[in-house]
Amino acid sequence: MSVRKKVSVIGAGNVGSTLAMRIVEARLADVVLVDVVDGLAEGKALDMMHAASITGTDKRVVGTTDYSAIKGSDVVVMTAGLPRKPGMSREELISKNAEIVRGVASKIKEFAPKAILIMVTNPLDLMTYLAQKITGFNPERVFGMAGLLDVARFKYLLSEELKKPASSIEAFIVGSHSDKMVPVAGVTTVGKKPLRDLLPREKVDEVIAGTRTSGAKVVSLLGKGSAYYAPSAAAYKMAEAVLNDNSNLFCASAYLRGEYGLKDIYIGVPAKIGRGGIEEILEVELTEEEKSDLKESADGIRDSLKKVGL
Ligand code: A3D
């Protein structure tokens, strides 16, 4: 008999509940959905199990406010926290979400000390750093979902511009999950051809600018809350890479120990993800301009870390 895999999703809001549904419908693992609001996670889990009677799955989702239910999790995905409102930057969420992450991370340390922790709460790089400090987990076992999402948005805009499928595009983004992210145009290929041979520099710059504001565009169109279909898809792929030990190469917020000339920081980089979490960090070649943008991005994260006393 195969051992059942378990993912706990903290926060039963838009991202957390959509992620829980993806996991159960894809038969990836059993899910425990936790939220601080009484009845919310339980109600959503019950609704999902009713849906499972229609769509079919051998996996279960249960909802609760009780953290002891996360015991034995292989993966914990942290989505608890406030999302952005129109006109709000991710950084404006710092103090409230830092308080939530401190509380939840200590529960994860207590009840799921062997789990791999995937962070989603914004501002992402900062909250990932904070969660690692509070849990005391090996830094490779804690990482942030954002790069995969940002790359997806970059690929989408390129695919629209070039009328080519997103699946034919290889791209990387380094830096923070903010408007200071650095899409690495020089290593981007479309159908194996270098992007620079397919699109003039001004167009590439337009796509990069559009990538940086993709999340804000969704926020302003929705009027309430922020994106969750693509974020939950990205978190799903990362949880899957861990559970199935895939060693997939994704952009993720990972702890650096000198890579890209940066130390003691969580920031977006291409990394291989498998059973142990971050297995390897890939250093792609950056232009002088991209190096300086990456440094600016890292400086922004360090400024925010100071704001929460880290
Ligand atoms: P939302 O739909 O408001 O859900 C958040 C949930 O967290 C709510 O149900 C809250 O009740 C719950 N919550 C709050 N405090 C606690 C707590 N202490 N314990 C358990 N649950 C709690 O937001 P959302 O799902 O749209 O977004 C969640 C977070 O993810 C926000 O911080 C977003 O900014 C962030 N986010 C990040 C990305 C990235 O790419 C990194 C993308 C989308 C959203």
Distance 132 CA to ligand 1 centre (A): 18
CB 304 within 8 A of CB 91: yes
Mean pLDDT of 246-255: 98
Hey, CA dihedral for 90, 96, 99, 100, is it positive or negative?
Answer: negative
Given a cut of 60, whether residue 72 has pLDDT beyond it is: yes
User: Which two structure tokens, joined as six digits, stand for 202?
Assistant: 């001004």
Query: Helices H, strands E: what count in the chain?
Result: 9, 14
- Positions marked active-site: 177
Spell out the SS3 assignment of 106-140: HHHHHHCCCCEEEECCCCHHHHHHHHHHHHCCCHH
Largest pairwise CA distance in the chain: 57
Whose alpha carbon is nearest atom 22 of ligand 1? Answer: 80
Mean pLDDT of 250-275: 98
Distance 289 CA to ligand 1 centre (A): 34
Given a cut of 90, whether residue 84 has pLDDT beyond it is: no
Which atom of ligand 1 sits closest to the CA of residue 127? 32
Name the DSSP letter for residue 191. T
pLDDT digits (tens, 9 = 90+) for 164-196: 999 999 999 999 999 999 999 999 999 999 999
Whose alpha carbon is nearest atom 17 of ligand 1? Answer: 36
Question: Is pTM beyond 0.85 here?
Answer: yes
Mean pLDDT of 43-68: 97
Distance 121 CA to ligand 1 centre (A): 6
Distance 139 CA to ligand 1 centre (A): 22
pLDDT digits (tens, 9 = 90+) for 96-114: 899 999 999 999 999 999 9
163: three-class secondary structure by DSSP: coil
Q: Which residue has the tokens 């003691």?
A: 264
CB 141 within 8 A of CB 116: yes
251: three-class secondary structure by DSSP: strand
Within its chain, how far is the Cα of 138 from the centroid?
A: 18
User: Which two structure tokens, joined as six digits, stand for 275?
Assistant: 């059973």
Domains and CATH numbers, the chain: 6-146 (3.40.50.720), 147-307 (3.90.110.10)
Query: What CA–CA distance (Å, rounded) separates 279 from 22?
Result: 25
Which atom of ligand 1 sits closest to the CA of residue 90? 34
Q: How much is the mean pLDDT over the chain?
A: 96
Q: Which residues line ligand 1 (CB under 6 A)?
A: 10-16, 34-37, 40, 79-84, 93, 97, 100, 103-104, 120-122, 124, 145-146, 149, 177, 225-228, 231
Query: What CA–CA distance (Å, rounded) separates 122 from 149?
Result: 13
Given a cut of 90, whether residue 129 has pLDDT beyond it is: yes
